[in-house]
Structure 1
Amino acid sequence: MMIEHPMMAIADDGVELAGTLTVPSTPGPHPAVLFLPGSGRVDRDSNAGRVRPGLGPALAAALAERGIATYRYDRRGAGDTPGDWHRVGFHQNRLDASAALRALRARPGISSVAVAGHSEGAVHAATLAAHDDVAAAVLLAGYARPGRDAFRWQGASLVAHLPAPLRAVAGRLAPFAARRLERVATSTADVVRVGPSRLNARWFREQLAHDPRADLAAIRVPLLAITGDSDLQVDPGDLDVIARLVPHAETRRVPRLTHLLREDPGRPSPLAYPRLLRRPTDPALLAAVATWLGARLGTTVRV
């Protein structure tokens, strides 16, 4: 059983980050986890428009069963948090995560705080684990190479796993797309128009320039890194980099697990994403994360 409370974190510039604190129904104090979602205009439930992975509530429920609270919040310009998402940078997302961590640590009834992140959120979680006061960290599908290299790997991987006719079309469009992306990467504006679309150029530039390896090498707290063998957006081989940079880390490469944190027994393909999103987050993954965090935070028994 769990209880949900609205919770606000105040960012460094005064913006109110609206979120939800999920607390086990058992008497406290409780350890807690700050959850950071992937990239995009994402709300506290890890949803962005019609793309609705629902990872936040699923993880919160799994952790509550083991006596662990969870705080998750709406990104700027998403849900109940104000702002123009198109103008929010990668570094601003990190600063907001740090503000949310401070708010959670100051919350009455919270005994200790860990951090968990998915995709982009995993990169910010690594930064918090390296430089802030956290008890442990979990990285779900987090990359461990310079952002530009991670972006190139992702693009090539997604195209390579398309059907042959679509790969051919992508190949013909590649030079055009590369020119457009280079225009965004070399711009100085927060927002750049590409055709009818507004692109978050600031986030894109900062993400491309970020190298998470220095943060990873500075982590001294317990660390769990999990990436699926069927992840098309983050190279599972980056787990080897994490293991080398963080010798005490526990790394797990999960067979058939996708970037959406759903298992897919078939050939990985981005075209399978809509089908996978109709299924729940992989329960074995949630159980593994909750069990690992429970052991590090001192709540190994289900409540």
Structure 2
Amino acid sequence: MSAVTISAGVPLAAERVVAHDARAMAVLIPGSGPIDRDGDAAKLPLGIQRQLADGLCERGVSSIRWDKRGVGESGGDFLSTGLHDLVDDALAVVDEAMSTGLPVVVIGHSEGTAIAARLLVERPAIAGAVLLSPYARTGLEVLRWQARSLVADVPAFVRGLLRLMRTDLESQTEKNRQRLLATTRDVERIGGVRVNARWFREFMAYDPRADLGAATQPVLALAAGHDLQSPPDDAEAIAAHRTAPTRVVRLDGLSHIMRSQEAPTLRTYRQDARRPIDERIVPLISAWIEQLVSR
């Protein structure tokens, strides 16, 4: 492992893991929120990017990952960071990865799949992309889909209370989304909480389908069958939208955070995060990269 400082709009603290006789360099792009290089949030240490880096290293794939703006050792302010800033940061990391001379593959999770879609168009020299829990619709439609999914995950007694109180969670969350769309500043207060309004506006407006359709690089899309945050069927929609080589794998019993579950729910995330990511993921990615770079 080696520490790297990458100059983007702000200095980004990154970490490179070098595999013996590496055949490719993976750029590991995390999901949404204040996530560090390992894939950890302050109250939810998921470790997705760290585990991907370690698993891929054992299979001859080097990697680079970084702390988001305003997180960990990176500069900048997370709350005022937009989705387009995150794309620019990822582009700087891709350029750093390309300086190694190895074929570069971008591996994005959740929000990171949308960033990966943009990177494929901005950097045609990227060899391919792996999309973990991807989506194929605008961010606004993703948030609406999440609201419908999460209402179903609310315990039955809570749903009963909400009905008695005549509270419609989908309607309430839609009001907040519309309030965010009407904002103009980077940071706004919604429900008394300071939120990254700029990121929400840019996220809700961006539809990755256009970039995925335009990109000519091969893509591996891994859908999580128990996903409540990215629509599992959207992986097939990505394949239908592209003419370039696209492989879709739906992993049954897999949650959005890349852990196995008996039934889809967010209520066990903290407990699930104590276990490693699903054992199927790294071998699938590694085999696909091996096939990609041996062409």
TM-score by shorter chain over 0.5: yes
Tell me the distance in 1 between the aligned counterparts of 2:160 and 2:291. 49
Q: 1:180 & 1:145 partners in 2: Cα distance?
A: 20
Matched residue pairs, number? 289
Note closer, same or farther for the CA distance 1:170–1:82 as it changes in structure 2 (3 Å cut). farther
AA paired with 1:154?
Q
1:51/1:179 CA distance change after superposition, 3 Å: same
Q: TM-score, length-normalised on structure 2?
A: 0.93
TM-score calculated relative to the size of structure 1: 0.91
**Residues 1:41 and 2:37 aligned together:** no
Separation of aligned partners in 2, 1:88 and 1:168: 38
2:102 to 97, 108, 111: 111
Task: Describe the superposition over 1:129-177 as per-residue Cα deviations: whole angstroms up to 9, x where unpaired.
Answer: 2331201110000110111111100111111122212334566153444
AA partner of residue 281 (structure 2)? L
SS of residue matched to 1:270: coil
Which residue in 1 is equivalent to 2:287?
291
Q: Describe the superposition over 1:192-219 as per-residue Cα deviations: whole angstroms up to 9, x where unpaired.
A: 1124421000000100000111001012
Which of the residues 275, 279, 282 maps onto 1:279? 275
| Secondary structure, aligned partner of 1:115 | strand
Aligned to 1:209, which of 205, 210, 219? 205
Shift of 1:230: 0.5
- Cα deviation, 1:208-261, whole Å, max 9, x if unaligned, reads 000111001012111100011110111111122111112420001111011010
2: CA distance, partners of 1:31 / 1:169: 53
What's the offset of the Cα at 1:274?
A: 1.5
Residue identity matched to 1:161: D
Contact 1:18/1:80 (CA < 8 Å) preserved in 2? yes
RMSD of equivalent CA atoms = 1.7
Residue identity opposite 1:144 in structure 2: A
Q: Which residue of 2 aligns with 1:251?
A: 248
Distance change >3 Å, CA 150–CA 176, structure 1 → 2: closer
Amino acid at match of 1:21: R
Give distance in 2, aligned partners of 1:245 and 1:195: 38
Go from structure 1 to structure 2 and tell me whether the alpha carbon gap of 1:214 and 1:176 turns closer, same or farther (over 3 Å shift): closer
- Match among 185, 190, 210 for residue 189 of structure 1: 185
The 1:173–1:112 alpha-carbon spacing in structure 2 relative to 1, beyond 3 Å, is: same
SS in 2 for 1:188: coil
In structure 2, C-alpha distance between the alignment counterparts of 1:143 and 1:116, rounded to whole Å? 14
2:142 & 2:278 partners in 1: Cα distance? 24
Flag the 1:77–1:168 CA change in 2: closer, same or farther, 3 A: farther
Identify unmatched segments of 5+ residues in structure 2. Answer: none
Are 1:146 and 2:141 an aligned pair?
no
The structure-2 alpha-carbon separation of the partners of 1:170 and 1:256, relative to structure 1 and needing over 3 Å to count, comes to farther
When residues 210 and 165 of structure 1 are mapped into structure 2, their CA distance, relative to the original with a 3 A threshold, is same
Identity %: 36
* 1:1-303 map, 5 Å: 4-11=1-8, 13=9, 15-24=10-19, 26-27=20-21, 30-107=23-100, 110-132=101-123, 133-168=125-160, 172=167, 174=169, 175-247=171-243, 248-265=245-262, 267-298=263-294
Deviates more, 1:155-164 or 1:38-47: 155-164
Name the CA distance, whole Å, in 1 between partners of 2:183 and 2:35: 24
